[in-house]
Chain A
Amino acid sequence: MAKRLSVIDIDHCVGCQSCMFACTRRTAKGGLEESRIHVHSAGGFRRGFVVIVCRACPDPPCARVCPTDALVPREGGGVRFRSAACIGCHNCETACPFGAVLWDSSQEKPRICVYCGYCADYCPYDVIALTEIDRGANPEPGANPAADHTSESADTNT
């Protein structure tokens, strides 16, 4: 079965951004520019944090709007990115309602999660985890979405 990154417990997040640094370091670089995961405050540090990750949609809108098939739906949910085909049109970025298509301004290309789970290995508080995609918990459009997590983490499990 395909895997994806899940936000398990957003209330445990301290906003350290270790996951973001891990994602760029996966390619043996420091910094943040290649990170495919994003953490920001939920409207000020008093209110906690939001973790933005690709939720590996079963029918990904980002792939549907890609004019060059640079984003190809993956079996089981989510997408694969074929960088050579990408023309940098930003359609995918606009299509994702969660903002999980992050943008690499120096390459002028989207940063697409590869569902590797490297970031989760560096989360000190088990906020995120690489999980099997469970159809019941990640329903097709029209199915009852309430089966997944708490409402808070479902909102931000993106």
Chain B
Amino acid sequence: MKGFPRFIKAFLFLFLFVFIVFPFVPLVLSSISYGWQWPNVLPESFSLRAWEYVLFGSSDTLRAIGVSLSIALIVTAVNVVLAVPAANALARYQIKGKWLVEAILFAPIVIPPFVAVMGIHLTFLRIGLTETILGVVLAHISPTLPYVVRSVIISYNTLSTDWEDQARMLGAGAFSRFYHVVLPHLLPGIAAGASLSILISLSQYLITFIIGSGRVVTLPILLFPFISGGDPAIASAYSLLFAAMAIGTLMGLDFALKRYYRNKKTAAGKTVEE
């Protein structure tokens, strides 16, 4: 019996390695390779040219990362604020025409974003929202909001109204009920939705380019021309940077969440031992 879980563990590790770590290896190699000619499995010599350009050249990479992250975080914050009441309504109330609301809300998942963004672009041009971070943030909401709403709906579905009734009977008003009872329950769902929202927002190229008109420079704006331009070293370096940014953000979110839960546990644990 004891060998079995170990076997599974080893298998999982291998699986993780093959599918998650392995794809990064050629990226890393390619980003530091010099003259990597075809039949060779490994590059013959190395150069930090690509990294030097990406990190210290005149390419404004750090600012682009900052812009990417702030857009993703603002978009996600707005999404959460919008998604919670929307999910509440969709999960709990029988509204007439609910299917229509859901269809509109989830359409951006199915319809390619650039179809929508063409229409948005003209409108944003007229009201002067193009080339602004605000405009890009608004445009990013369309492909990201559905995922947040979806995950919060799932959280709401597992929250019986009894909990809120109970809090109500203990004297909790609307805000307290939400803050002390609903929010903690929704938190895992919100975190899942927020992760998706952050990832999707970070990886937008077309929407950012069209609405931002090139003036809102996120990391994908710098990265994409290199992918199509055939400079594998710089494209690899940017891709790795992008992955690091995405993974870093998700880990940050995870860390914040874990700390939130641990604080509660340790605060409790201490007194139990007393």
Instruction: Tell whether A pairs with B.
Output: no
Residues of B whose CB lies within 8 Å of any CB of A are none
